A and B are shown apart, each in its own frame.
Chain A
């Protein structure tokens, strides 16, 4: 069940574990589904010996997709009006990520009740990997 506007207040926070010990296989799955076959995300040899990175790292869009779960679980995927992020740090295999949503505003616009949410995803070291914002439609 998704939340109603009457069930939330500005300043409320919701946290969710997005992934524990991120696997390289998950990166391969994301490459296959999204069509982004950049070897930086699936090809360790290329990363180490050709690209100068310590190994493969996650597609930013995988982290954005996982982070989106925090909002879609709260308000339902059909209710999302806006969702945007900034990628602030790379995400690596083995990382644990947790996503946090903070209610910033509950407002009416064009006859709809909307909720604005601030999003932050953090790794096991406390480094922020994604910051973002979303707006969702909510029932009163």
Chain B
């Protein structure tokens, strides 16, 4: 029933705990099953931005080093990629989540990603800005929609001026 290109995301309590810590959120809903039961959440739930960790489950995610492939972060040299590094790689411009229900440990979600609109703008601080939109749908094992995410990325002509 699932799209073969869909990315499978088994949602686990430990991952929710690590993610919550990483955003500085120590609420019981994210950390302790027994305490979470005493809250309105009735058990552990994921923080609203948790599904961004889709990156962990995407086999082709480009911002993760892979065996046998050059990685653009530093090692012996400031960048592991010979020649000019990706000096003005993509930045995140917008992110939106719309939930049909909360995400909980034990959920197995399937994410499908498609491209949305793209547009260009001029800016003083970083030159030409190219925006592109990506829509990600997260469905459960029954094919029910759980979340729709819309991200807007921007690539800049040069690094953003800090002046």
Binding site for B on A (CB under 8 A): 2, 18-19, 26, 29-30, 32-40, 42-43, 45-46, 48-54, 59-62, 64-66, 68-69, 71-73, 76-87, 90, 134
Contact = CB atoms under 8 A, between A and B. Distances in A.
Query: What's the interface size class on B, roughly?
Result: 35 or more
B89 A60 contact: no
A78 B97 contact: no
B120 interface: no
A81 B91 contact: no
Nearest to A84: B96
Contact of B61 (A26, A35, A72, A85): A35
6 contacts: A32-B18, A37-B65, A72-B27, A76-B41, A85-B94, A85-B96
B159 A61 contact: no
B47 A65 contact: yes
A30 B22 contact: yes
B102 interface: yes
B25 A52 contact: no
Interface string B33-58: 00000011110011111001111111
A124 to B, nearest CB: 15
A68 B47 contact: yes
Contacts of A39: 72-74
A68 B21 contact: no
Contact of B23 (A2, A43, A68): A68
Contacts of B15: 33
